[in-house]
């Protein structure tokens, strides 16, 4: 570890180049590391290992056939406890080859986009890898998104093929994915491939084809398509502070090298580990730490179809016992819910196999941290609080196992190769102990390359605030030891139960609800979800506002995971004389703070503040 650290400090380029050469299987070895810089990123996206050629599935699958063909690659635990499927690396190779041949027979080629709208079934990982094997670009859309949200992503990506399943099972409930795809489809989509999960009857049209019909019949050998290192591997849509979700593009080599490096390093991965990340593949955590990182490293990776409380709050720890899980990686929102239950749900199960436990997606509060560390991990496991984002591709700030940390809620240090800074509102660096906007000062290979078909948006979103640095959108504090504490988003992104959403998306959805004249949405501290959604609604003259209709509107335009937690009817929104909504005031009031509203002199109607206070 020390050696890596010194090497990375001397010069990042040889460090990353050596790392990528070692970690990936190449068709043509790269001779270059990074080409480009944050200063020139507006003219040209950064290139990592740009003269190299590879196919990522040869690193994630083929390479393991020599050393660990019979090792379990994917360990699937279905919705019903104990419903288990085990797919070896040999089996994974066969299935990925078959699926690649099947997609090829539908006309999928290098550069084509394929939308995956699925639950947590092994075919999802197989489909991702099959796309990658063809050089096609997958875009996984979380199965909770509505038909409208799915359509936006189909249209923006320009996909002609969608892969889905009949119905998905989650916590004993059926989620009708195929029906949602039918409602989302545009004429541009030529084929819908349907995995049979439950066997429920689904509507069928001439463009539909069963996964098993084409995959089972396909040849089990497939020659992977070698692509350039910078070729896009996937698009993942994520919410920002303004407008519609952006399709972040991750490129093959840099992304995979970084996912592999961080997965092996942070969790101290050993050959015999049983590794479980209980996130959903619909988000970046699942891409990097269920599929690409673990498979690149030849690990056994668990895929979990269900929820933390089904059939009871002991489900995670029951799985730990059943599979002898040694590394467990989960989200604070689930941990908070489980920590509120009887500890017997944890103690009942043997957790002696656990060695490293991780947290991801939002700040972990000290109480949940202690419960996770002391009770779940019996005080003997390393707890890694991992900070990163869809944009970073992989973990950027975290403790590294087996080193222990005793600071509940502290993400600790940037990983070797990552250089961060804290900046004041004027962009000036904060030195030593202090707080500021969290930036990353130097390029790293895991970084998203661009926004799909909108490089300008990529540049203006991340590189216009602080010249020469990547702006994360988070605030952070550095303590006297030099450790980092993430304080949360400082832009208009809210993190509700680990789901990243933009207040602008909520506002667009709520504006469409009957009787709504104007609306503003902010986040506020929520005991279970981390942040909740708080809406200030200005009704049309004489209209009454129905909370159920507000919810229905969000559900239709975003998805089932988008709910308004609290709303207030107000006579107007606090605006500056130039018409800009003063969100700072709305945030403070939603937090329950009526005193520290700051300077109100620029408001066009200062008397409105009293009306807002009265409405809270």
**Binding interface with ligand WT7 (CB under 6 A):** 238, 283-285, 360-363, 385-390, 411, 472-474, 486, 488-489, 495, 500
- Our CB check for ligand WT7 shows the closer of 387 and 470 to be 387
Strand partners, 72: 88
Closer CB to ligand WT7, 214 or 276, in the complex: 276
382 touches 404 (CB < 8 A): yes
Q: Which is nearer to ligand WT7, 162 or 411 (CB)?
A: 411
Distance of closest approach, residue 21 Cβ to ligand WT7, in angstroms: 27
| Terminal Cα distance for the chain, rounded | 52
SS3 at position 109? coil
Shortest Å distance, C-beta 266 to ligand WT7: 11
**Nearest residue (CB) to ligand WT7, 112 versus 385:** 385
CB of 555 to ligand WT7, least distance (A): 20
Q: Which residues neighbour 592 within 8 Å (Cβ) at sequence distance 6 or greater?
A: 524, 616
Q: Which is nearer to ligand WT7, 388 or 452 (CB)?
A: 388
Nearest to ligand WT7 of 476, 585 (CB atom): 476
**Three-class SS state of 192:** strand
**CA 286 – CA 276 distance, rounded (Å):** 11
Q: How far is the CB of 469 from ligand WT7 (least distance, A)?
A: 15
To ligand WT7, the closest distance from the beta carbon of 438 in angstroms equals 8
* Structure tokens, 63: 């390479």
Which of 384/509 has CB closer to ligand WT7?
A: 384
Is 250 within 8 Å of 449 (Cβ atoms)? yes
Least distance (Å) between residue 36 CB and ligand WT7: 23
| Nearest distance from C-beta of residue 329 to ligand WT7, angstroms | 11
Query: For the residues of 235-303, what is the DSSP string, one character each?
Result: EEEE--SSSS-EEEEEEHHHHHHHHHHHHHHHTT--TT-EEEE-S-TTSHHHIIIIIIHHHHTT-EEEE
Between strands 161-165 and 168-170, the pairing is unpaired
Q: How many CB atoms lie within 10 A of CB 282?
A: 23
CA 478 to each of CA 394, 414, 419, 437, 481: distance values in angstroms, whole numbers, following the listed order: 21, 12, 14, 11, 8
Write phi, then psi, for 254 (nearest 5 degrees).
Answer: -60, -45
Contact 157, 131 (CB under 8 A): no
CA–CA dist 241, 491 (Å, integer): 6
> What is the spatial distance between Cα 78 and Cα 21, in angstroms, rounded to a whole number?
36
CB of 605 to ligand WT7, least distance (A): 33
**Residue 228 · residue 56 · CB < 8 Å:** no
Cβ proximity to ligand WT7, 405 vs 472, nearer residue: 472
Closest distance to ligand WT7 from the beta carbon of 23 (Å): 21
> How big is the chain by its Cα radius of gyration, in Å?
24
Nearest distance, CB of residue 35 and ligand WT7, angstroms: 26
């Amino acid at each position: 570890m020390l050696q890596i650290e010194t090497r990375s400090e001397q010069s990042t380029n040889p460090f990353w180049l050596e790392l990528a050469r070692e970690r990936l299987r190449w068709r043509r070895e790269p001779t270059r590391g990074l080409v480009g810089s944050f200063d020139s990123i507006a003219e040209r996206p950064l290139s990592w290992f740009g003269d190299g050629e590879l196919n990522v599935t040869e690193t994630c699958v083929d390479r393991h056939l020599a050393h660990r063909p019979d090792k379990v690659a994917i360990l699937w635990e279905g919705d019903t406890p104990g419903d288990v499927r085990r797919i070896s690396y040999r089996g994974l190779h066969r299935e990925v080859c078959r699926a690649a041949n099947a997609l090829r027979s539908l006309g999928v080629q290098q550069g084509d986009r394929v939308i995956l709208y699925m639950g947590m079934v092994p075919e999802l990982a197989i489909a991702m890898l099959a796309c990658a094997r063809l050089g096609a670009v997958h875009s996984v859309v979380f199965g909770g998104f509505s038909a409208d949200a799915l359509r936006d992503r189909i249209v923006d990506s320009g996909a002609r093929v969608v892969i889905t399943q009949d119905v998905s099972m989650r916590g004993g409930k059926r989620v009708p994915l195929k029906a949602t795809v039918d409602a989302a489809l545009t004429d541009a989509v030529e084929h819908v491939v349907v995995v049979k999960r439950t066997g429920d009857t689904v509507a069928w049209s001439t463009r539909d084809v069963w996964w098993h019909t084409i995959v089972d019949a396909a040849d089990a050998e497939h020659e992977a398509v070698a692509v350039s290192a910078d070729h896009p591997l996937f698009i993942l849509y994520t919410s920002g502070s303004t407008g519609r979700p952006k399709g972040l593009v991750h490129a093959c080599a840099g992304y995979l090298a970084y996912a592999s490096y961080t997965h092996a390093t942070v969790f101290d991965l050993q050959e015999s580990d049983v590794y479980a990340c209980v996130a959903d593949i619909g988000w970046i955590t699942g891409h990097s730490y269920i599929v690409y990182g673990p498979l690149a490293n030849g690990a056994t990776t668990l895929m979990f179809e269900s929820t933390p409380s089904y059939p009871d709050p002991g489900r995670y720890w029951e799985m730990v016992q059943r599979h002898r899980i040694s590394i467990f990686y989960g989200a604070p929102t689930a941990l908070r819910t489980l920590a509120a239950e009887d500890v017997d749900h944890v103690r009942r199960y043997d957790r002696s196999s656990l060695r490293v436990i991780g947290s991801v997606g939002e700040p972990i509060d000290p109480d949940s941290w202690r419960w996770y560390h002391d009770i779940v991990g019996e005080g003997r496991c390393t707890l890694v609080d991992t900070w990163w984002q869809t944009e970073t591709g992989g973990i950027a700030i975290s403790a590294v196992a087996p080193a222990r940390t005793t600071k509940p809620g502290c993400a600790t240090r940037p990983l070797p190769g990552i250089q961060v800074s804290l900046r004041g509102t004027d962009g000036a660096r904060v030195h030593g102990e202090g707080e500021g906007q969290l930036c990353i000062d130097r390029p790293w290979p895991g970084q998203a390359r661009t926004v799909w078909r909108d490089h300008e948006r990529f540049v203006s979103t991340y590189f216009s605030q602080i010249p020469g640095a990547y702006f994360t959108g988070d605030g952070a504090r550095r303590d006297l030891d030099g450790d980092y504490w993430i304080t949360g988003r400082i832009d208009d992104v809210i993190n509700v139960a680990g789901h990243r959403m933009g207040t602008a998306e909520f506002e667009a959805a709520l504006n469409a609800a009957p009787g709504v004249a104007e609306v503003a949405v902010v986040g506020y501290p929520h005991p279970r979800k981390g942040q909740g959604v708080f809406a200030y609604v200005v009704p049309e003259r004489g209209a009454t506002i129905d909370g159920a209709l507000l919810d229905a509107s969000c559900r239709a335009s975003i998805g089932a995971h988008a709910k308004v937690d609290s709303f207030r009817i107000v006579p107007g929104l606090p605006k500056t004389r130039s018409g800009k909504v003063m969100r700072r005031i709305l945030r403070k009031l939603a937090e329950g703070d009526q005193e520290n509203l700051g300077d109100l002199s620029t408001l066009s109607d200062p008397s409105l503040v009293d009306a807002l206070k009265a409405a809270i």
